[in-house]
Amino acid sequence: MIGNNELPKVGIYTFVIKSKLGKYLHPLFVCSLLNDLFGLQTRAGCQCSTVSGQKFLGIDLNLSRRYKEALMNEQEVLRIGFCRLNFNYFFSREDCEYILRCIEFVAEYGWMFLPHYSVNLGGKWGNIVENQLPRRRWLKEISYDSGKMTYMDSTQKFSKGIFPVHTDRANVRSLDDYLNEAKDILVQTVKQYKAMYGGEIADQRQQVSQEYQHLIWFLYPSEVLELIYPLNPTDDLTFTDIEKWSREQKPQHEEEWSTLFIPRDYRRNTYECKFSEEYIQKEEELKKKPKPNSQFLGRM
């Protein structure tokens, strides 16, 4: 969890997930997975919007410039970020506990879903099935002109259908059912990897230019495949088997990952969110610069 978690907060939480293999999970992947498995709507933000974001993530000015250079050279996939989650005031305690359990599940096992997803150089993540869909749907395609909720179909004409509204609460599935279903999906997903990819594993990190590969901070699907292949899952594989195997895994990239950046723990009162001396110096220099001549502005 980013920031000082001992202070009162508004209902917006920012977090990053470090995988068992020592690298982060890309926030866009995390948001996609939370949506696909549990229907949780989260969003990924990038640290470029504020200097404080860089400070919270432990990114110094030198490293920030290296990433800026990579981004300016079309290596958008390297953009650093985090996940944001809102807890709305009308959420019940059961809802909040369910959301936290979903995040815990993704933090523990999310990395094993990576080979079922692909990422392009622009940083867009999507599961393989989703990428085969012909088009995306947008909120602007929803209309209430007819007095009820309608949406545009693939021919760009408004359909006559209405989004279903469930009024019979007796038949609504329990939240625990979705967590159990996620476990079953994980088992089936791991079983399918060899059929999906065959015996060859392409190093997907090669999509990043060689000169910037040392800046890769997140885990790629191909890195997970290299580890999962020896598992050799059988038809009788269970979630308990995966759970046991996952606990035995040790960080593979800890040394490589730790050379980049580590989010600062503000609860230990070790760090303060201050601007660097260089930023302060630049700000003072800008203040000393003469302002543009505005003598003609009053005549307009």
Q: Tens of pLDDT along 66-117? A: 988 998 998 988 888 889 898 888 889 999 999 999 999 999 999 999 998 8
Task: Give yes or no for residue 291 having a pLDDT over 60.
Answer: no
Tell me the two tokens of residue 19.
């995988």
* pLDDT score, position 200: 63
CA pair distance 208, 274, nearest whole angstrom: 33
Q: Give the number of C-alpha atoms closer than 13 A to the C-alpha of residue 259, restricted to the C-beta side.
A: 6
Estimate to the nearest angstrom the gap between the alpha carbon of 42 and the chain centroid.
9
Q: Rounded mean pLDDT of 200-209?
A: 80
Q: Are 194 and 237 within 8 A, CB to CB?
A: no
- Helix (H) or strand (E) holding 74, with range, is none
Tell me the two tokens of residue 43.
């969003």
26-76 pLDDT, tens digit each: 999 999 999 999 988 898 876 555 667 777 788 888 888 898 899 899 898
What CA–CA distances, in Å, run from 263 to 58, 96, 174?
A: 5, 25, 36
* pLDDT score, position 7: 72
Q: Give the number of C-alpha atoms closer than 13 A to the C-alpha of residue 263, restricted to the C-beta side.
A: 21
Tell me the two tokens of residue 3.
């920031």
280-286, long-range: CB < 8 A, 24+ apart: none
Does residue 283 sit in helix, strand or coil? Answer: helix
Give the range among 64-68, 156-160, 168-172 with minimum mean pLDDT. Answer: 156-160
* pLDDT score, position 183: 94
* pLDDT score, position 147: 84
* pLDDT score, position 286: 64
* pLDDT score, position 63: 86
Q: Across all residues in the chain, what is the average pLDDT?
A: 76
For residue 173, the tally of other CB atoms under 10 A from its CB is: 8
Q: Which value, in Å, is the radius of gyration of the alpha carbons in the chain?
A: 23
CA dihedral (254, 255, 260, 265) in degrees, to 10, reads: 60
CA pair distance 76, 63, nearest whole angstrom: 16
220-274 pLDDT, tens digit each: 888 888 888 777 677 788 898 888 888 887 766 555 555 578 777 665 555 444 4
Task: Give yes or no for residue 25 having a pLDDT over 50.
Answer: yes
Q: What angle do CA 181, 182, 184 make, to 5 degrees?
A: 65
* pLDDT score, position 101: 94
Q: Rounded mean pLDDT of 171-193?
A: 86
Q: Rounded mean pLDDT of 121-127?
A: 82
Estimate to the nearest angstrom the gap between the alpha carbon of 165 and the chain centroid.
30
- pTM as predicted: 0.75
CB within 8 Å of 110: residues ≥ 6 apart = 17, 19, 25, 29, 30, 33
Q: Rounded mean pLDDT of 195-210?
A: 77
Domain-wise residue ranges, the chain: 12-285
Residue 87 one-letter amino acid = F
Q: Rounded mean pLDDT of 138-152?
A: 78
End-to-end distance of the chain based on CA atoms, in angstroms? 52
